Amino acid sequence: MDLDRIHTPVMLDRTVELLAPALEAPGAVLVDATLGMGGHSRAFLERFPELTVIGLDRDLEALAIARERLAAFGDRARFVHTVYDGIAEAIRGEGFDEVQGILFDLGVSSLQLDRAERGFAYAKDAPLDMRMDPSRGRTAADVLAEADEDELRRIFLDYGEEKLAARYARAIVRARADHPIARSGELVQILHDATPVAIQRQGHPAKRVFQALRIEVNEELSVLAAAIPAALDAVAVGGRIVVLSYQSLEDRLVKRELQAASSSTAPAGLPMELPEHKPLFRLLVRGAELASEAEQAENPRAKPVRLRAAERVRRAS
């Protein structure tokens, strides 16, 4: 496997630029909350020779690959098998009370997309698994077999923002009455057959459904909703957090948390802002940054990315 060919970290230079001011001091610690195959972490370990990186991932295969890629850095690279809402416990488990940098590179990893047998990609026929941690939890096939029509419609609408959610839910319930839907190719065909021809021309009919199933299987939004506040709490004064999101549901959640952390808590009408009401963080970018056109052309996985970042300016008294 040529890891450098299949795995190009998204917005790497910009991520390093934003986190660098917090990581240059001796003893700095960065949490790579979505370690994957270690592309971002390797760049940080190379750039900052005194940096310690704590890499988190729920995917044991990804952790094994990252361990191999980062072995040359010795104990400067730490590895924790956990979902990223376990970030606080992971930091404490490695002997730290707070950290100087945190990076989230959300969504499905290159490894998961490129392994056809994992069932994430609608363009490749494979068992409908979609678990980021294949050692636990129910699969996408289990969801399709167990959820009733109303629940399937909710999943497709809430997590995929799919306008044909009701139509697709009905089609799946009809199809599974004949036999279980166990492979991605079967699901793609069911969705294709249920999609009006005019809508088929607007994009692949399976894209949003596969996204919704992946989010449901891995509880991605509920995990993220717990992880971002925990991560913010772990950032030291002067420390920074950078989050890369790949779909609107993630980005909205991240935006809400960062805006709340960087806003004054002073009650409306107060004649002056008291120190205890001042924001805990300041935003480092205006809105959400996109990858450059050049990077999007070179690395298609950078096209949907939205980057947000913030710096802690004070601790609550």
Residue 19 three-state SS: helix
Note whether 130 and 218 are within 8 A (CB): yes
Helices 184-194 and 207-218 sit at what angle, rounded to 10 degrees? Answer: 130
Alpha-carbon distance of 16 to 297, in angstroms, equals 21
Alpha-carbon distance of 166 to 154, in angstroms, equals 8
39 is in an annotated binding site: yes
What DSSP line would sit under 107-139, residue for residue?
A: S--HHHHH-GGG---TTS--BS---SSTTSS--
Note whether 304 and 105 are within 8 A (CB): no
Note whether 9 and 32 are within 8 A (CB): no
Report residue 136 as tokens: 């636990």
Hey, what amino acid is at 106?
A: L
Note whether 245 and 107 are within 8 A (CB): yes
38 is in an annotated binding site: yes
Angle at 260 between CA 259 and CA 266, to 5 degrees: 120
Note whether 31 and 102 are within 8 A (CB): yes
Report residue 141 as tokens: 């096939």
119 is in an annotated binding site: no
Report residue 105 as tokens: 């590179």
Alpha-carbon distance of 77 to 180, in angstroms, equals 43
40 is in an annotated binding site: yes
57 is in an annotated binding site: yes
Q: What is the CA radius of gyration of the chain?
A: 21
Alpha-carbon distance of 235 to 102, in angstroms, equals 7
Annotated binding site: 38-40, 57, 84, 105, 112
Annotated binding site for S-adenosyl-L-methionine: 38-40, 57, 84, 105, 112
